[in-house]
Chains A and B, each alone.
Chain A
Amino acid sequence: MSFSRLEDRRLVTGAGRYVSDWHLPGQLYAAFLRADRAHARIVSMDVSQAQAMPEVHAVLTAEDTQRAGFRSLPCAAPIPGKGGAELIKPYRPVLAAEVVRFVGECVACVVAQTEEAAQNAVEAIVIEYDDLPVVIGAEAAIAPGAAQLHPNIPGNLAIEFETGDAQAVAAAFAKSAHIVRLDLHNQRVAGNPMEPKGCLVRHDAGTGDYFVHVCTQGTAGMRGQLVATTGIADEHVHVVAEDVGGGFGLRFNAYPEYSAVMLAARITGRPVRWVASRSEVFLSDEHARGVSSRGELALDAQGQFLAFRFDFLNDMGAYIAPTGPVVAVLSIRACLAGVYKVPAAVANVRLALTNSVPMAAYRGAGRPVISYMIERLVDQAAVELAIDPADLRRRNLIPAHAMPWPTANGLAYDSGDFPAVLEHALEVADWTGFEQRRTQSAAHGRLRGIGLASFVEATGGGAGPDEVEARFGGHGEITLFAVSHSHGQSHETAYAEILSAVLGLPRERFRLRNGDPAVRLAGNATGGSRTLHGVGSALRVLADDVIAKGRELAARALEVAAADIVFADGRYHIAGTDRSVTLDSLIEQHSGGAVHPLDTRSSARTGGTFPNGCHVAEVEIDPTTGVVEIVRFSAVDDAGTILNHTIVAGQMHGGITQGAGQVLGEHAICDRQSGQLLTGSFMDYPMPRAIMIHGLTLAEHPVPTPTNVLGAKGVGEAGVTGSLPALMNAILAALRTAGVTHFDMPATPARIWGAIEAARAGDARRFAYDRAQ
């Protein structure tokens, strides 16, 4: 049978409904005045001219949000800081009141009859600023004498975390034979889901209810953040969503624009719609990564790893986004020592505030930061100790028989066979045949390099249980409800296939209604690659619950005791007889009423799990132009039990390519003087295009996890966690043949060419190219 997803038909025919496809009668249009500078005091603002323009219904400023009782957008630290320190929370208003702190920050919201009229009125707002010194880059933010962004955050340092045992690490370093050090920077990137964010809000003055149509990764979390910001009671906020055009972490949080539009809808008494332009997406969607890091690895004389020590300095942007601290510290903690049996490890993590867009989750959410650090460091050790990189890893991988493995900082890896995954990847990649391929490339004047990365992922246990609900009264159509919202991950298909397999009903019978405010469930948003093992497990529980309820119905229908009935292939049999009744007929028999006896709400609480993999990249570099071509990429992954191989492969393709995009050039560059975003459109920000990766080969190496009933591990982000280090290791391996000893992302043609020229000239500073904004 050929592949297809349940969601495909509407999406390939243009019948999907994304946020900008919604319209409500009488709707008005919002537009935002955004700060055109990175750090300034608002001296005065005059909206009278804008307010007086025809077709303008309202101009909202900080005064209005204050009058409405709005509070700071929420943020929190997921764990205590060093010595029990708490996160110092910056106050983040929906509309800037006294100070603007990044280019693109919302200052005022105009509501008008048309989009153009709203835009005209935005231009008619007269605002006077008094510029303040601009802080760009985390190093600059914590430097002595740096301008301070928030009065309550001295030195722009919001919190410092430590995970691991610093003393044990110091002791290990003291007795080591070799110490390898590496400074790396994981550059700021813009996630750019293809659907620009937006919202459409209707306020019912009679009931006080708000219906917020919005791009979301999960309605419950979105609602919670809106409630926290606006102070409106939870029961009055209803988040609605159908199709969401990509998220990657960036559609998790409630952007300030959404709260402003809620207020606009209440004040004007009309539905209000706002859809960002791509320019606004660049300026106001959360950015990601932006981490300066130092890694140190201590080894004994035999190349055994003794300890890791890391320092991560995070550029958090001008405020702390709700998911920002989670990304900065939890993934580091979860994957601190990677796949290695190292007895001691420690990481220090600092969160600094800068005059740029706030940082949050983006595919991988911190795992690509730690995997990049560890695997670059291990490669550096291999070079310094003259050990084959695969062999050095072999000597240090956690053996399969040691699972579950207690990590150096007190967590436990549940399952996995890291050595077998490595060997599998080396075989798929034809690691031993590389020298021959390098010779062939050299004959064409190309530098060729191969690089590998063994990595562990951490996919989420979630902040609480996942609830799911199924309703059977729809005459054959079974309606499913869950919180975790699909923005490309194929939830409809995956959910239906889980239930179909257990209940013996065709998958087409299941219809998922994800963002329906009529059904309020507890649950996690889509994130941390956790939906299949979280919601999937809950669905597996639900299937059993439904079968149990159905058994009672079958017992009545067959007039026997429930204990005598067995369920198989969609049918209840009286054991030892040929008498049976199908689940399907029981569903139909009881259909029509408001409540169906099989209607079920179930939940599951699943633990986190540690998917892992080994990726091998092979690149060719044209030394005359610095162009890198990815000529082979082999990815072997342990994603636990796989339910749908095609969907998993699709997730890997996408993740690997997003990693390649960052490696080869994606970079949200803020000007160091002005704080202006210099790569603010697709004209300057290089998005991956077809074909970025040649010779992509995937292989599965599943080791089922005991942490959930499906045995499934997350797969949505493994691609980028593996491809970032594997590709850069391959690129540096190629560059080493031209005398280059250090190189960091992004590997743009100009930077690669510059590094080769500098090595040729014997002067590392020549053509040095500012990396770090």
Chain B
Amino acid sequence: MSKVALTVNGKPVEVEVEHRTLLSTVLREALGLTGTHIGCDTSQCGACTVHLDGRVVKSCTVLAVQVQGQSVKTIEGLAPSFDASGARLHPVQQAFSECHALQCGFCTPGMIMAVTGLLQDHPQPDDQQIIHGLEGNLCRCTGYVNIIKAVKQAAQMMQA
């Protein structure tokens, strides 16, 4: 067991973990941040996508001990001033809802985290950049049509 100190959604936390514990397990079980989902075991589906020091990673393929001292942002920490009573959403969250870019919602948190990463690198992405940027995330419900629409709408909202 080791103690790992990290920042999660802006708050410093310290957790005691086995060395084999995955970052996703710490988020979901030790910290109760169940918005980060587990959809596969081969690092393909992207449902567990979070930001690690500002870059998108699959939290199911990172050991918790590897992120000592680093900063993690999850879906729960994405909205600027989210509270349960219903404050503002992040533009990507809002665009996903307005464009009907989610159905069952299981892939959605990882998808939204991937899209925010994509928009950091490409604030006004074209279709090719969107396709390339979403290669690490699977959705079974939407056919991606409205996800792509939402990416473009979010880009416009963030530009404005």
Please report A residues at the B interface, Cβ cutoff 8 Å: 2-5, 7-9, 11-18, 20-21, 23, 116, 192-196, 243-248, 275, 277-279, 487-490, 646-647, 649-650, 653-658, 681-683, 687-693, 696
Most buried by A among B86, B97, B135: B97
Contact (Cβ within 8 A) B44 A12: no
Contact (Cβ within 8 A) B96 A8: yes
Complex Cα–Cα for A692 and B138 (A): 12
Contact (Cβ within 8 A) A689 B98: no
B contact residues around A693 at 8 Å (CB) = 143, 145
Complex Cα–Cα for A647 and B100 (A): 7
CB < 8 Å neighbour of B143 from A487, A489, A682, A688? A688
Contact (Cβ within 8 A) A194 B33: no
Contact (Cβ within 8 A) A13 B82: yes
Contact (Cβ within 8 A) B143 A488: no
CB < 8 Å neighbour of B98 from A2, A11, A20, A487? A2
Q: Residue-by-residue, is B15-40 near A (CB-CB < 8 Å gives 1, otherwise 0)?
A: 00000100000001100011111111
Complex Cα–Cα for A682 and B40 (A): 8
| Known A-B contacts A193-B104, A194-B140, A691-B131; A12 and B97 likewise in contact (beta carbons under 8 Å) | yes
Tell me the minimal C-beta distance from B101 to chain A in angstroms.
Answer: 9
CB < 8 Å neighbour of A194 from B41, B47, B96? B47
CB < 8 Å neighbour of B40 from A13, A14, A23, A681? A681
Contact (Cβ within 8 A) B144 A689: yes
Complex Cα–Cα for A643 and B78 (A): 33
Contact (Cβ within 8 A) A195 B41: no
Contact (Cβ within 8 A) A488 B103: yes
| Known A-B contacts A278-B45, A681-B42; A5 and B131 likewise in contact (beta carbons under 8 Å) | no
Contact (Cβ within 8 A) A688 B144: yes
A contact residues around B34 at 8 Å (CB) = 14, 17-18, 20-21
CB < 8 Å neighbour of A657 from B44, B93, B144? B144
Contact (Cβ within 8 A) A696 B37: no
Contact (Cβ within 8 A) A4 B105: no
Contact (Cβ within 8 A) B97 A654: no
Contact (Cβ within 8 A) A278 B143: no
CB < 8 Å neighbour of A14 from B75, B103, B141, B147? B75
A contact residues around B104 at 8 Å (CB) = 193-195, 243-247, 487-488
Residues of chain B from 131 to 149 with CB closer than 8 A to chain A in the complex: 131, 134-135, 138-148
Q: Residue-by-residue, is B79-104 near A (CB-CB < 8 Å gives 1, otherwise 0)?
A: 10010101001000110111110111
Tell me the minimal C-beta distance from A269 to chain B in angstroms.
Answer: 23
Tell me the minimal C-beta distance from A13 to chain B in angstroms.
Answer: 6
| Known A-B contacts A194-B47, A196-B38, A682-B44; A18 and B97 likewise in contact (beta carbons under 8 Å) | no
B contact residues around A11 at 8 Å (CB) = 102, 105, 108
Complex Cα–Cα for A683 and B138 (A): 12
CB < 8 Å neighbour of A489 from B97, B103, B140, B147? B103
Contact (Cβ within 8 A) A654 B102: no
Most buried by B among A275, A653, A693: A653
Complex Cα–Cα for A599 and B63 (A): 52
Tell me the minimal C-beta distance from B17 to chain A in angstroms.
Answer: 13
> Closest residue of chain A to B29, judged by CB?
A23
Complex Cα–Cα for A666 and B89 (A): 36
Asked if B59 lies at the interface with its beta carbon under 8 angstroms from chain A, I say no
Contact (Cβ within 8 A) B35 A3: no
| Known A-B contacts A13-B75, A194-B47; A650 and B37 likewise in contact (beta carbons under 8 Å) | no
> Closest residue of chain B to A363, judged by CB?
B140
Complex Cα–Cα for A3 and B42 (A): 35
Please give 17 more A-B residue pairs, beta carbons under 8 A apart, in addition to A4-B97, A194-B47, A244-B104.
Answer: A3-B100, A11-B105, A12-B89, A12-B93, A15-B35, A20-B28, A195-B106, A196-B38, A246-B140, A275-B38, A488-B105, A650-B100, A653-B142, A654-B103, A682-B42, A690-B134, A692-B144
